[in-house]
Structure 1
Amino acid sequence: MATSPTNQGVRIGVMMDNVQLVDIMGIDIIGNLSKKYLEYVLSDAPPEMAPMIPLFEGKGIDIEFFFLAPTLEPTVLTPGLTYVPNMTFDDCPRDLDIVLIGGPVLSHRPPQADKFMKEAWAKTRVWMTTCTGALWLASAGVLDGKKCTTNRGFLPTAKRIQPETEWVDQRWVVDEKPYEGTDGKGELWTAGGAGAGLDMIAQYCLQNFDAPLVSMTLQGVDMHPEGSRTQFYSPQA
């Protein structure tokens, strides 16, 4: 797996209109690695953190988030949260580094999003989905023959309405995807429910960014994905 250099900018598109809020919260794990966030934290660090400051210095990443929707008008997530998108599907660059798709209801299929997914699929190296976000991506016809997962309760539905995709009963699944760029192979990361999505994104960060920095930021939010939170369900689940 290619490692993302920490001295290069990362552009991330987030398909979040009408989705479950917790499905897209993994972006904050990535955002905590940004230069802007680390500078903010270190500028207000208590004396007890002084020995740790050198471990953070110079490791922040330039990150730009595109929060996508069909228009720039305020739109809604659960639980009634209204936000203002900063980019439309039509205007968003297609050659991003990462696209993350949260899970909307199955009837939410705006044509602008469909066009974006089809045009950006092979130009963006890494695509991630959480919950029914995989069904949204599959509806664009790009997941035929790919190994994916979705919310465990929706697996029978996924197999029925998108039978061309190989649906797997796992917390998250990683597969290859087409990629027209030269900076590594295309990667498809799909997760089940929101908790699995958080663990999936944490694992992606550990594998693709500065691992000690990622570990420290995860400990700061009391996440420990290196423990038992694997990509497989427990036998009792």
Structure 2
Amino acid sequence: MASSTTPKKTFRVGVMLEAVQLSDIMGIDLLGNLSREYMDQVKGLSEEIDLFDAHAFDMEFFYMAPTLEPTLMTPGLRFYFKPNVTYDDCPRDLDIVITGGPLPTHQPPQAAKFMKEAWTKTRVWMTTCTGSMWLASTGLLDGRKVTTNRCGLPLARQIYPGIEWLDQRWVVGEKPYDGSGGGKGELWTAGGAGAGIHMIANYCLQNFDPKFVTALALDPLQFNPEESTGQFYAK
């Protein structure tokens, strides 16, 4: 995994959010709390927060859909959430793409084109819930070890038998990466929405200063993954 350093450029996060449950992508709040924009809003609230002013970094989120029209998310948020970029216009060389979980039948061609073109140019790819089945529909996960919503594992194994579907809360593996900046490509796949939030928290703790992550993201949200369920399901 990457070292715990402050990114030297704008950290760019792509979010595939159309037709997904709102909770599937809520882990982006953990990332957003590490941004310079957030730090400038909360600076001065406490001495502990101010200690990490130099750790905050520029961050940009790309919320994707086929068009810029309001997109459906649960629970009925169609008229409140608008994408800010289309799949066709979104950059391919992002730092992270987060794919939320729609119904397995949701496979717009624009999304498939984006995933195939961004797959090797984006260093870290994350899926939550049935987002892994969405990504699997492109063939990019063939031969890999991944997971999905635990209730959806039988269906995933039936539809995509060329993938090794693991019964874990989240799975971390490698993926191809030929983009700039170096480092290995990483594939993080999670089960349900709660597992996805834990997964993103663990990614942040591994890739950025843990004290900074705790002070700006975990403590303000009263979230402690060490006291929550870990990577594996309880037997």
Q: Normalising by the residue count of structure 1, what TM-score does the alignment of the two structures yield?
A: 0.94
Aligned-partner Cα distance in 1 for 2:57–2:30: 12
Sequence identity (%): 62
1:67 maps to 63
> Relative to structure 1, is the Cα distance of residues 117 and 194 closer, same or farther in structure 2, using a 3 angstrom cutoff?
same
Indicate whether 1:184 and 2:183 are aligned: yes
Aligned-partner Cα distance in 2 for 1:197–1:76: 20
Contact 2:123 2:185 in 1 (8 A): yes
- RMSD of the TM alignment (CA)? 1.1
Which is worse superposed, 104-113 or 224-233? 224-233
1:229 maps to 229
2:156 maps to 158
Aligned-partner Cα distance in 2 for 1:94–1:138: 18
CA offsets 1:11-68 (integer angstroms, 9 cap, x no match) = 000000010110000001000000110110115x2xxx2x314422111111000000
* Unaligned residue ranges in structure 2 (runs of 5+): none
> Relative to structure 1, is the Cα distance of residues 138 and 34 closer, same or farther in structure 2, using a 3 angstrom cutoff?
same
> Relative to structure 1, is the Cα distance of residues 4 and 71 closer, same or farther in structure 2, using a 3 angstrom cutoff?
farther
1:4 offset after TM fit, Å? 6.2
CA offsets 1:167-210 (integer angstroms, 9 cap, x no match) = 00000000100000252000000000000000000000000012
Contact 2:100 2:128 in 1 (8 A): yes
1:106 offset after TM fit, Å? 1.2
Indicate whether 1:76 and 2:75 are aligned: no
Aligned-partner Cα distance in 2 for 1:185–1:92: 22
1:38 maps to 39
1:171 maps to 169
2:111 maps to 113
> Relative to structure 1, is the Cα distance of residues 141 and 5 closer, same or farther in structure 2, using a 3 angstrom cutoff?
same
Which is worse superposed, 151-160 or 224-233? 224-233
Aligned-partner Cα distance in 2 for 1:206–1:7: 14
1:228 offset after TM fit, Å? 4.3
1:229 offset after TM fit, Å? 2.2
Indicate whether 1:140 and 2:141 are aligned: no
1:29 match: secondary structure: helix
1:116 offset after TM fit, Å? 0.3
Runs of 4 or more consecutive aligned structure 1 residues displaced over 4 Å after TM superposition: none
1:212 offset after TM fit, Å? 0.4
Matched to 1:41, the amino acid is V
1:128 offset after TM fit, Å? 0.2
Contact 2:13 2:62 in 1 (8 A): yes
Provide the aligned length of Structure 1 versus Structure 2.
Answer: 230
2:148 match: secondary structure: coil
Q: Normalising by the residue count of structure 2, what TM-score does the alignment of the two structures yield?
A: 0.95
2:90 maps to 92
Aligned-partner Cα distance in 1 for 2:43–2:164: 45
Matched to 2:119, the amino acid is W
2:226 match: secondary structure: coil
* Unaligned residue ranges in structure 1 (runs of 5+): none
